[in-house]
């Protein structure tokens, strides 16, 4: 499949949706593990991701991040600049990086949190962001800056202790989340400054849902996460940057706050098999206020379905979101078990 002769660039399609208008066709996006990307580049004879996007008519994002140039722990080269120890855990067809050392696991007070060696926003090369964007052709939307504090909290503290803190150790939770916000706010501000108006969207996220229900109560979310998500979104809006929000799972109870208070404009990834996340209900209740991103199911349909079943699901989504704004793509990272034919079927069928 070659790039179609259309009147809009990928970036223009995204901005049509942000402006509440219909583009010339349904936009698409791409999320996959590095193993899947390497396989597609090889099998489709593409030199790089841009070539892959062009061959499959993918309106994908270009993601920029400043490079860390600060000090690291020389005695523990496996630890990142947050102090988290990382290990590559292999599985049959690839590998995931997991946190295997939690530097704040033993923290017993806000003083212990303060004593941790936190990264300094000065320790990143923002000039490279400006240089990359100066050379960019402007064809694709640019995503810059990210904020997903509780995911990082879990790596700093350990998952069980992290959730326990929200109920039993609010002073420690406030101390860690407060410091994470301060660091990310300044890093993102400098990214936005370096972007000079060329950053289109930023990524605010937190996995609020599991496969079967919320991971925390609405009250806990409002107490610990909502206020700083609002502040981070407000920062992006000062620079004319749109808000993309990611949450996995059954997150329906959080959507009114995310849309009305945080002001998100794009919701990813729409795991529609989870309770409360049915596509029809989301389109009915929120279709006039948010862009839906993803929704092509990658736990069953993409990895285990036939190409006809993939195409059928794309057609279903196209019909359900007919009067909404929708960007077609997988509902999360495409996994290595997914056949190439199914990936091609998703992208080739969306605008048939």
- pLDDT for 17-71, tens place per residue? 999 999 999 999 999 999 999 999 999 999 999 999 999 999 999 999 999 999 9
CATH for 317: 3.20.20.210
- Average pLDDT of the chain, as a whole number: 96
Residues linked to residue 292 through DSSP beta bridges, in sequence order: 267, 326
Is residue 320 in a domain?
yes
pLDDT at 1: 28
Q: Are 267 and 205 in contact (CB under 8 A)?
A: no
On the question of pLDDT at 6 being above 80, the answer is no
Mean predicted confidence (pLDDT) in 224-239: 98
Other CB atoms closer than 10 Å to residue 280's CB: what's the count?
Answer: 13
Question: Is a pLDDT exceeding 50 seen at residue 3?
Answer: no
- Asked whether 293 and 30 are in contact (CB, 8 A), the reply is no
In a domain, 336, yes or no: yes
Residues 131-138, mean pLDDT to the nearest whole number: 95
At residue 4, does pLDDT exceed 80? no
Count CB atoms within 10 A of the CB of residue 71. 11
Sign of dihedral through CA atoms 220, 267, 291, 313?
negative
Give pLDDT tens digits for 147-195: 999 999 999 999 999 999 999 999 999 999 999 999 999 999 999 999 9
Q: For the segment 319-329, what is each residue's pLDDT rounded down to a tens digit? A: 999 999 999 99
- Residues pairing with 147 in the sheet: 204
pLDDT tens profile 241-299: 999 999 999 999 999 999 999 999 999 999 999 999 999 999 999 999 999 999 999 99
Has residue 94 been placed in a domain?
Answer: no
Residue 71 lies in a domain: no
Q: For residue 183, what are the domain limits?
A: 10-66+105-349
For residue range 202-222, what is the model confidence (pLDDT) as tens digits? 999 999 999 999 999 999 999
In a domain, 48, yes or no: yes
Query: What's the confidence (pLDDT) of residue 5?
Result: 41
Domain annotation covers residue 233: yes
In a domain, 164, yes or no: yes
99 within some domain: no
Find out whether 157 and 115 touch, Cβ atoms under 8 Å. no
Is pLDDT at 2 greater than 80 in this prediction?
no
pLDDT of residue 131 exceeding 60: yes
Whether pLDDT at 7 is above 50 = yes
Q: Is the pLDDT of residue 312 over 90?
A: yes
Total number of domains in the chain: 1
Query: What contacts 286, CB < 8 A, 6 or more positions away?
Result: 255, 259, 267
* Residue spans of alpha helices (H) in 271-349: 279-286, 301-304, 307-320, 340-349
Whether the CB-CB separation of 327 and 293 falls below 8 Å is answered with yes
């Amino acid at each position: 499949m070659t790039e179609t002769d259309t009147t809009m660039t990928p970036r223009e399609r995204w901005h049509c949706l942000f402006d509440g208008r219909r583009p010339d066709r349904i936009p698409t996006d791409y999320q996959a593990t590095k193993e899947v990307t390497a396989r597609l580049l090889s099998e489709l004879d593409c030199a790089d991701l841009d070539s892959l996007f062009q061959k499959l008519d993918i309106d994908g994002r270009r993601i920029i991040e400043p490079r860390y140039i600060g000090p690291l722990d020389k005695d523990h080269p496996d630890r990142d600049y947050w102090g988290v120890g990382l290990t590559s855990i292999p599985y049959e067809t690839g590998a995931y990086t997991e946190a295997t050392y939690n530097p704040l696991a033993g923290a017993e007070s806000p003083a212990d949190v303060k004593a941790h060696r936190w990264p300094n926003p000065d320790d990143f090369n923002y000039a490279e962001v400006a240089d990359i964007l100066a050379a960019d052709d402007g064809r694709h939307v640019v995503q810059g800056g990210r904020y997903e504090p509780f995911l990082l909290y879990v790596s700093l503290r350990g998952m069980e202790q992290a959730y326990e803190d929200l109920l039993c150790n609010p002073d420690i939770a406030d101390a860690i989340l407060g410091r994470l916000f301060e660091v990310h706010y300044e890093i993102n501000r400098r990214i936005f400054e370096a972007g000079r108006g060329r950053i289109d969207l930023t990524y605010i996220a937190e996995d609020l849902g599991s496969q079967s229900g919320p991971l925390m109560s609405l009250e806990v979310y409002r107490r610990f996460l909502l206020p700083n998500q609002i502040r981070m979104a407000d920062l992006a809006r000062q620079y004319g940057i749109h808000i993309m929000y990611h949450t996995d799972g059954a997150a329906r109870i959080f959507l009114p706050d995310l849309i009305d208070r945080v002001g998100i404009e794009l919701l990813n990834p729409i795991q529609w098999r989870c309770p409360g996340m049915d596509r029809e209900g989301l389109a009915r209740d929120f279709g006039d206020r948010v862009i839906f991103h993803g929704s092509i199911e990658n736990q069953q349909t993409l990895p285990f379905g036939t190409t006809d079943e993939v195409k059928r699901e794309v057609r279903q989504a196209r019909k359900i979101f007919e009067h909404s704004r929708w960007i077609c793509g997988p509902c999360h990272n495409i996994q290595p078990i997914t056949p190439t034919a199914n990936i091609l079927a998703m992208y080739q069928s969306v605008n048939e």
